[in-house]
Amino acid sequence: MTLPQNALVLYKHNPARVLSSGDKIEIVLADGRQLKVRPKDVILLHPGPFQSFADLHPPDGDIETAWELLAGSQTTLPELAELIYSNYTPATAWAVWQLVADGLYFRGQPDNITALPPDEVARQRADRARKEAEEAAWHSFLQRLEAGHTTPDDAPFLRDVEDLALGRQSKSRILRHLGRTQSPENAHALLLELGFWDETVNPYPIRFGLPLDPPQAGLPPLPDEPRLDLTHLPAFAIDDEGSSDPDDALSLDGDRLWVHVADPAAVVSPDSPADLEARARAAKLYLPECTVPMLPPEATERLALGLSEVSPALSFGFTLTGDGEISGLEITPSWVRVQRLTYEEAETRLSDPPLAGVLRLARQFRDRRLANGAVEIDLPEVKIRLVEGQVVIKPLLPLQSRMMVREAMLMAGEAVARFAEAHGIPLPFTTQDAPDLESAGPLPEGMAGMFALRRLMTRSQLSSVPGPHAGLGLARYAQATSPLRRYLDLVMHQQLRAWLKGQPLLDAGDILERVGMAESVTGSVRQVERLSNKHWTLVYLQRLGSWQGEAVLVDRRDLRG
């Protein structure tokens, strides 16, 4: 293509003047740069002569009348220039092309320009007016933001920051404008600064993608199956005050200890809707402000121990030998009559039967664990709750009743693990390697030593293959006493019930698949619980104002402790 010298051409949306034409076309731009470009890189707007870019100012013309005459039809750039400006010159050619590029009235190429129909022009006008209003509102908001005086009407703008604070997106236009690092923490801080959030907003569940609504899957009625009647035995579900989901209870029948556990596996079969929902949640979420169940609420209402006069359970009965070994395990669906106690209430009954007998067995079992190298970490614990808008932090006292219940649950876990190993039942076993205490050297006294000891402990592992749990001092262990609250405990019960009925079992691959899915979520659940407790602790301290207290330095890193 040969172009006349001094022709007006379009090059990358900019006007250019042709200096020479050949295999390459030499052009000059408005800023004085001279380029050699391919013929296909330019579009002829006017053959010239075009001498000065200063002449390309918009002339007067009747644009709207020309559009009305041509609406819905096609024309060319020269014809449109003649119609609007009564002349086809480099200046009018460039003016027409700017109209085409703007796209309100016309679209196309120089040799085929379409005048848009009225409805399209009306729509574009409305869109442009809306965008202009939005842009004006945005700039007005930024002025209020920089002055620190936002209003409730600014909520739509601040959703951008809120979405970052809640982990729904990774960037914030507002934080970028303010020159702040775009992080959830900075977004949270800004929302607090502006008063859009107050200190009671806990962002962590949503930030980690955890649901806050309960599962909705329905549950079938209890199956018509034989259950051992153990209602004649006093059974006690011992929990913290305020607990709403008692899922274990203790009975003593002579020298035989019964650990009764809620029986959701009776109505939640593998791969049922309720099972899949529980698998996706992995565990019940405990927050100071609320709890979010793993199973549908009716599971707790129907199956938690002690909420009805008589409760269904999966019961584990066994005795202890003189050296604290478990013997004679019996696993059976049962009916139990459960009385609920707090740990404080149970503490006052430990000298009376039957709890005195349970306490004796618990101490005997604990002695065996400690002799086998169990590691006990004695650090203060608290329970944090939000009660009527107030943060309540209650120390968990080191009561003997707590030790008794903990040891009974460990007994059941060891008994089930050994039973499953002996009968070839695939289960999610819990194992833990021993800590390397020798290379750590002497530990400090008191809480600092306990903190250091906890850091030396290796993380427990879940496996389809049984192995020792060094921290507990047990050769075999599996968590089995919280199927309402932990998904893998539910899997455990599903396996045990299937074995008792002679039904097909999940194989080791199925177990590992469930372990993998549960572990991928459990980490988030535990982290959200930890961060939420920290959040409400900070709220508690903030509300105390100028309060001062004493603390124990348990670790030090340079100038930080």
**Please, what are the domains in the chain?**
8-118 (no CATH), 119-198 (1.10.10.10), 228-543 (no CATH)
Listed residue (246, 341, 243, 387) closest to 303, CA to CA = 246
Other Cβ atoms closer than 10 A to 351: 9
The string of pLDDT tens digits covering residues 28-62 is 999 999 999 998 999 999 998 999 998 898 788 88
The model's confidence at residue 278, banded by pLDDT at 50, 70 and 90, is very high
pLDDT band at 360 (very low <50, low <70, confident <90, very high): very high
| Residue 19: closest CA among 40, 49, 59, 54 | 49
What pLDDT is recorded for position 314?
99
pLDDT of 559 higher than 80? no
In DSSP terms, 387 is beta-bridged to: 390
**Residue 176 predicted with pLDDT over 90:** yes
Give the pTM. 0.81
Q: Convert the pLDDT of each residue in 53-96 to its tens digit.
A: 988 987 888 898 999 889 889 999 999 999 999 999 999 999 99
What mean pLDDT value characterizes the chain?
93
Q: What is the pLDDT of residues 134-158, one digit of tens each?
A: 899 889 988 888 888 888 888 998 9
Quote the radius of gyration of the chain (alpha carbons, Å): 37
Report the b/e string of 60-78 with b at 16+ CB within 10 A: ebebeebbeebbeeebbbb
The proportion of the chain whose per-residue pLDDT surpasses 90, expressed as a percent, equals 77
Average pLDDT value for residue range 391-418 = 96
Per-residue pLDDT tens for 347-358? 999 999 999 999
Give the three-state DSSP class for 285: strand
Check residue 445 and give its pLDDT.
83
Say which DSSP state 294 is in.
S
Mean pLDDT of the 415-422 span: 98
Q: Which residues of 86-104 are buried (b: 16+ CB within 10 A; e: fewer)?
A: eebbbbbbbbbbebbeeee
Conformation bin of residue 210: beta by default, left when phi > 0, alpha when psi is -120 to 50: beta
Residue length of the chain: 561
pLDDT of 1 over the 70 cut = no
Whole-number Å distance between alpha carbons of 111 and 78: 9
Q: In the structure, how many helices (H) and strands (E) does the chain have?
A: 17, 21
pLDDT > 70 in the chain, percent: 99
Q: Which of 49-58, 265-274, 424-433 is predicted with the least confidence, judged by mean pLDDT?
A: 49-58
For the beta sheet containing 326-336, the strands, ordered from the edge strand earlier in sequence to the opposite edge, are: 228-229, 326-336, 311-320, 256-262, 248-253, 235-239, 338-342
Could you tell me the two tokens for 347? Answer: 């503490």
CB 485 within 8 A of CB 414: no
pLDDT band for 242, please (50, 70, 90 cuts): confident
Quick count: other Cβ atoms within 10 Å of Cβ 431? 22
